[in-house]
Structure 1
């Protein structure tokens, strides 16, 4: 038996570090992705080969392969261990992994890999036909996205117990965009609870030009602690809120929406410094900028969309603190070169920047953007790349 899935990367338009705290995001699937082809072999060994790396890996449920931090095989091991825990031992398989997504670029190539591997293994082992899958996941892609996010971050999901994830305390934004995106549209998704708020039409004459900064954003590597700092800050603020108010809010978003003066009260409870700045950034990004940008695009107001994007980028630099000089420079240069809007995206601490430009000017814009980057950051630019995409199709099973 053979199973094959293609899972796209994603572009986070707005919603920097908001999803895991229950906030709003504006995202889409990218036109590039990861394709995993699996063939059942019997036994208990799962052998994976990637066209991006020379050495195969051999894995098994509950067996530590001794892979170093940041190794691509850790995402496979995480998926195998969790599926084994939740649904029982998996049959042996050979997996072939092909990708045209830039690696560690902020476009969630790692999450796309985990999702694709999990979907292929689910097909090879008939997991969708089991009563447990039907009861816990059914056919709802939003629910499946939340489960696969829990696989990555290690948390429990409904009646499916958690296990060691990849080490980052992330949410389900990436997985939701990959599984639930729509061609030609941005998705406004909320995460307390998980639901799609709006489908936002994308202007037919505009495209995303994405430049990878060349600063690797490996969430299982050096950037993990920095990423988790931003996530843990929202948990700390929520704990302060619940302790002071006697409430039991599960998400920061629920807390700030609980009353008209909740934001003012919460900020007053927090000490000056990063914690207060982080919460202020979350509130502005989730509760104001995502709705503002969505409304602007609905009416064709590109200037309004650009204003929301600019503020989001500024907040990332000054309050969220997930930017590096390279991404700051790329975003500023894109606007200087005439982009409608530009923003760094993803976990941060490296990764990529998107710029919105007219489709007929995309190639020339990309060349000029990269050339300027090379003058400012020659070492990083040597491994930087550019791609052009529009909101694209979600994950699909291939014949």
Structure 2
């Protein structure tokens, strides 16, 4: 059997999902294809066309691989499925991808979703009572697959360690629930699908891959996780001060007209918490509603301004941009892009630019050339990708 799982484009929504906020998303027309065949050899034999060699993985057995290795994501899926549903049938899987690695287009989450879908079908888990009780639709499926990475429990399906990232379900939701030729707004904790807006046929996204790998390891992992930890601390401090039991900052904000001032008061003693609150409010409560309204009305200038706000907020307040992504965003606007912003976990990765489809390739070449004049050290890994919103994950 074969499955295709797209990468995702986070148009806006930097570190908002696990806080219960908004994201504006698209599934892209590139992704991961996985082919699964039956095997007589115990465990799962996994290989990737992007790298040499193969890995023999057994659920519940640490493969002793370096942090960030692609097979650790496969192992996390095996361990979680066995914990929740019992022993897995042997299989051989071959993974192919045309997503740039560690670029912000969520190749790692696409791998998790692809392996999960293939193994769930291979083992007939959709027919199990515990599956039917917890996974009733694609929204539930996205939520469950996110917990394979962050290690949380989903309904009655017990959690496990995951892959060491304390992220949310944005990536998995885009891959499973977005629509062709549309950008879709979602809110999270729980996942709720909101408005979808058409992307005009005469526009396309050009993605500049900076060449700086957005790896969730080392200092980048620590900074990435600190954003999640600080969001959680904000909710806990709010609950301690008010006696409420709100799960997220978004829940607290929705509870009362004066909640924002209250949250600012409980965060006032800690500059990091204040910055985390301000970054979330600007992205989720200001930039995304403005962008959706602008697209709905066809006001592309206002859409570009909302994207500028989002990128500036990510750099100056959230603190997850780097000089390379900042320069790419500025160059895109200088060269006439309708809008542009960095996206993904940050600390590397990519920047999107929305441009007319006619001349998009030429725009991308000019953009990349100008960038590499200033950052020639990334010539071997920087690249340009043209993409439009594609369909969700599907069995081939």
TM-score normalised by the shorter chain: which range applies? over 0.9
What SS class does the counterpart of residue 57 from structure 1 fall into? Answer: strand
Alignment of 1:184-195 (within 5 A): 184-195=181-192
Q: 1:13 aligns with which of 11, 14, 20?
A: 11
Q: 2:287 aligns with which of 268, 286, 289?
A: 289
Map of 2:170 onto structure 1? 173
Q: 1:142 aligns with which of 139, 155, 178?
A: 139
Which stretch shifts more, 212-221 or 282-291? 212-221
C-alpha separation between the residues in 2 aligned to 1:394 and 1:34? 12
Which structure 1 segments of 5+ residues have no match? none
CA contact 2:185–2:195 (8 Å) conserved in 1:
yes
Residue deviations 1:158-191, cap 9 Å, x none? 0000001010000000000000010010110011
C-alpha separation between the residues in 2 aligned to 1:221 and 1:116? 26
Alignment of 1:1-399 (within 5 A): 3-138=1-136, 140-220=137-217, 222-270=219-267, 271-398=269-396
Aligned-residue offset at 1:220:
4.4
C-alpha separation between the residues in 1 aligned to 2:218 and 2:176? 25
CA contact 2:18–2:189 (8 Å) conserved in 1:
no
**TM-score of the superposed pair, with normalisation by structure 2:** 0.98
Root-mean-square deviation (CA, aligned residues, Å) is: 1.0
Aligned-residue offset at 1:130:
1.6
Which structure 2 segments of 5+ residues have no match? none
C-alpha separation between the residues in 1 aligned to 2:88 and 2:58? 8
Aligned-residue offset at 1:290:
1.1
What SS class does the counterpart of residue 342 from structure 1 fall into? Answer: strand
CA contact 1:209–1:366 (8 Å) conserved in 2:
yes
C-alpha separation between the residues in 2 aligned to 1:78 and 1:27? 25
**Segments ≥4 residues shifted beyond 3 Å:** none
Residue deviations 1:241-296, cap 9 Å, x none? 11111111001100111111111111122125221011111012111211111111
**TM-score of the superposed pair, with normalisation by structure 1:** 0.97
Aligned-residue offset at 1:86:
0.3
What SS class does the counterpart of residue 385 from structure 2 fall into? Answer: strand
CA contact 1:43–1:91 (8 Å) conserved in 2:
no
Size of the aligned set, in residue pairs, is 395
